[in-house]
A and B are shown apart, each in its own frame.
Chain A
Amino acid sequence: MLLIHCPYCEEERPEPEFRHAGEAHIARAENITELSDEEFERHFFIRSNPKGIAFERWRHMHGCARFFNAARDTLSDKFLVTYKIGTPKPDLSGEIRRK
């Protein structure tokens, strides 16, 4: 079982308490009514789905119930870091992708 660090509970908690909640750092356009259908499609449906480090929203559903962000390696399933909503995307350029 994976242990995931919740930045609000400030400790590692078991995976069944958590839910995945999609890609993180997707900003809703300020002028959303002016977007073309193609632009809206990109905003609403198109996700990066990387092989390697992915930035994701997670929710500590059966714990503190808070949403938070996480950087997870989609190859190894390892969580590199978790951080509170509203804090900037961490710089992980130094992380080497594990094979």
Chain B
Amino acid sequence: MVEIAHRTSPLEGRGFEGDGISLSVAKPASRLSLRAPEGSLPALSEALGLELPQRPKSTSTKGNRAALWLGPDEWLVIDEDGADLMAICGKIPDLHSAVDTSHRNVAIEVSGARSADVLSAGCPQDLSLARFPVGASSRTVFGKVEIILWRRDEQTFHVECWRSFSAYGFDLLEAAAREAE
């Protein structure tokens, strides 16, 4: 008998719509925690089809794939089409470490005119457009949990967090969204 494991999101059915704020659960995506020295970047960038960014807080995107700079030799690669990123990097002989974190993280989309205000309820970074412009991303904290924050456009933030922290993260976002109404 064949048994199929069904994937359930820890945020199944969650969502919130308020005045100038919308919270929704992002679709499942494939994700890679990638570590590599500078010398391996050309080969990895070519294989992934996008330039791995080397400036702090920066990202690069190509279609539905994005690479977020996390540290001087560390990236989060997200593919919203669910591509097999491990297979892509597995073909590269240059030194690197790639760990599939697709099921470790879940993402919440925070959008609307009040998105930065709502995030500021738990995130101590300056989220003004001058300091956190469109395309910026960073590992940081939200309340008591670590998140990765990525500003996809002026009013849309992508919030990645660990699966087991996501209920707390969503609860705090929703509380902030209601409070700021």
Contact = CB atoms under 8 A, between A and B. Distances in A.
Interface of A: 1, 8-11, 13-17, 62-66
B35 to A, nearest CB: 11
Interface residues of chain B: helix, strand, loop or mixed (majority): strand
Given A9-B56, A9-B57, A62-B146, A16 B71 contact: no
B9 interface: no
Contact of A64 (B70, B124, B146): B70
- Chain B contact patch, size range: 10 to 19
A13 B57 CA distance: 12
Contacts, number: 40
Given A17-B140, A62-B146, A63-B140, A11 B56 contact: yes
Contacts of B146: 62
B130 to A, nearest CB: 12
B117 to A, nearest CB: 17
Interface string B138-157: 11110000100000000000
Given A9-B56, A9-B57, A63 B124 contact: no
Contact of A17 (B56, B70, B141): B141
B72 interface: yes
What 8 pairs between A and B have smallest CB-CB spacing? A14-B124, A64-B71, A9-B56, A62-B141, A62-B146, A65-B71, A16-B141, A10-B56
- Most chain B CB inside 10 Å of its own CB: which residue of A10, A15, A64, A66: A64
B125 interface: yes
Given A8-B71, A64-B56, 4 more contacts: A8-B72, A9-B138, A65-B71, A65-B74
A13 B125 contact: yes
A1 B57 contact: no
A17 B122 CA distance: 12
A17 B124 contact: yes
11 contacts: A1-B124, A9-B56, A9-B138, A11-B56, A16-B124, A17-B140, A62-B146, A64-B71, A64-B72, A65-B139, A66-B72
